[in-house]
Amino acid sequence: MQNEEGFTVRKIAVLNQKGGVGKTTTVANVAAALAIKGQRVIAVDLDPQSHLTIHLGVDPDSFENGAYEVLTKSASIADSLVNVRENLWVLGANIDLVGAESELVSEVGRETIFHEAVETISDDYDYLIIDCPPSLGLLSLNALAAVDEVVIPLQPHFLALQGLGQLLQTVTLVSKRINPSLKISAILLCMFDSRATLSSEVKADIQNFIGNSRGTNCPWADADLIPIHVRRNVKLAEAPSYGKTIFEYEPDCNGSRDYAAIADFLHDPASFKKNDETVEIEEHVKEPAEEIMDDAVIETITEEDITTPLTELVIETEEETQQKIVTEENTQSTETSEQPKYQIKEVSPTEIIAPRAEEAKEDSH
Ligand SMILES: Nc1ncnc2c1ncn2[C@@H]1O[C@H](COP(=O)(O)OP(=O)(O)O)[C@@H](O)[C@H]1O
Ligand SMILES: [Mg+2]
């Protein structure tokens, strides 16, 4: 699979099993920024909550084929893409995806179905970017098996690093057992508040952690802490309910500037570092980052883990962090007469893993 310049299509999963860290916002706006730059981008919604689909202006009830049909092998990706903007396509999610995990559980090779589907897409796309659900279940495993790169968004609050070890362990196991080309390419701090000391502390912890793994063969040895942080910006929280990207909703705001720069960085980190002198490039400090390393349990991965059946790799969904739209004190709401097109409804993790049979039963009452 090569694009017109002869490069392989870049396949990226945006993953963090915590909800509300900025995955969907990042996929929608990075995909849009790349498309505006002329890259041909497929944005994949693998979250049954359909937030990415809605964010890009597609009604989850409006399409015939989407991620569910691809995962259940009843449609190809090519037949399921919705063209949403110039150079931008979405593989949509709807409520059907709720049942995919339990339906696939007895399938042989269930964790590589999406990988196989991705292999069939034509070579004229430049990027495929997956918005993962807030869990490390079968949907996220399918994403990890299909991509070469993982980008981890983190919200730098006091629990930011909790769960990171489990995430890193999952990526390590997938890279050892299913997808040897899998790497964590970047960590992105979202909803960054430069006035909060905690944000800076989390940043320093991550820098230490990445610095420590340089030269090792773990999947994050070459990861970048993206030198642009996504600042808290209320426009980013408002845009999704209008089905608009930040570049359409409010092109002149911090959210817009941050995501445009992040897309530039992801597209070409080397020239970004060289050309943009205004961006502070972080030094990777060589110091132990005890807490993260403890959590990462990297040393505790044994031969046994590597040969245990994949079912044991599926880690139960943690209680999803309550999503909060935090309004920036000094940012005024956009005055607009336009009404939000959709209400984004929160779906609890238990709903996400509820078997379809139960859904059907309830429907018939
Ligand atoms: N930089 C930001 N500033 C303010 N609100 C944000 C920012 N990034 C995301 N949000 C809002 O925070 C909530 C969670 O973000 P989202 O991207 O949906 O996270 P996830 O996909 O990880 O659950 C959403 O309501 C989103 O609009
Ligand atoms: Mg999301």
Q: Which long-range contacts (CB under 8 A, 24 or more apart) does 249-258 make?
A: 249/334, 250/334, 255/29, 255/230, 255/231, 258/228, 258/229, 258/230, 258/231, 258/233
Which ligand lies nearest the alpha carbon of 229?
1
Query: Tokens standing for 256?
Result: 């817009």
Cα 196 to middle of ligand 2, angstroms: 24
Domain span including residue 201 = 10-364
Number of domains composing the chain: 1
In 182-317, DSSP assigns E strands to: 183-189, 224-225
* 1 in a structural domain: no
Mean pLDDT of the chain: 80
Report the nearest atom of ligand 1 relative to the CA of 25. Answer: 17
**pLDDT of 331-353, one tens digit each?**
344 444 455 544 444 433 333 33
> 17, 21, 23, 25: which to mutate for ligand 1, most atoms within 8 A of CB?
25
Q: What protein residues have CB closer than 5 angstroms to ion ligand 2?
A: 23-24, 51
pLDDT per residue as tens digits for the range 300-310 = 334 344 333 33
Kindly state whether residue 253 falls inside one of the protein's structural domains. Answer: yes
Residue 4 lies in a domain: no
Rounded to the nearest angstrom, the distance between the alpha carbon of 25 and the centre of ligand 1 is 6
| Ligand 1 atom closest to Cα of residue 230 | 1
The binding-site residues of ligand 1, defined as CB within 6 angstroms of any ligand atom, are 19-25, 51, 134, 190-191, 230, 232-234, 236-237, 240, 323, 325
* pLDDT computed for residue 263 by the predictor: 98
The two tokens of residue 351 are 């709903």
Contact assessment for residue 176 and residue 306, using Cβ atoms and an 8 Å cutoff: yes
Instruction: Judge whether 26 lies within some domain.
Output: yes
Residue 85 has pLDDT above 60, yes or no: yes
Q: Which of 95-104, 154-163, 322-331 has the highest mean pLDDT?
A: 95-104
Distance 88 CA to ligand 1 centre (A): 21
* Residue at 5 is within a domain: no
Is 107 contained in some domain?
yes
Question: pTM of the predicted model, to two decimals?
Answer: 0.80
Closest protein CA for atom 14 of ligand 1? 20
Q: What is the pLDDT of residues 2-23, one digit of tens each?
A: 554 455 899 999 999 999 999 9
The pLDDT value recorded for residue 194 is 78
Contact between residue 259 and residue 235 where contact means Cβ atoms under 8 Å apart: no
| Stretch 234-248: mean pLDDT | 98
pLDDT surpassing 60 at residue 283? no
Question: Is residue 273 assigned to a domain?
Answer: yes
DSSP β-bridge partners for residue 43: 90, 129
In the chain, the percentage of residues whose pLDDT exceeds 70 is 73
- Determine the pLDDT at residue 128: 98
CA 263, distance to chain mean position in Å, is 14
For residue 82, give the CATH number of its domain.
Answer: 3.40.50.300
Would you give the DSSP letter of residue 136? B
User: How far apart are the C-alpha atoms of 125 and 104, rounded to whole Å?
Assistant: 28
Closest Cα to atom 27 of ligand 1:
237
Whose C-alpha lies nearest to ligand 1, atom 13? 20
Residue 255 placed within a domain? yes
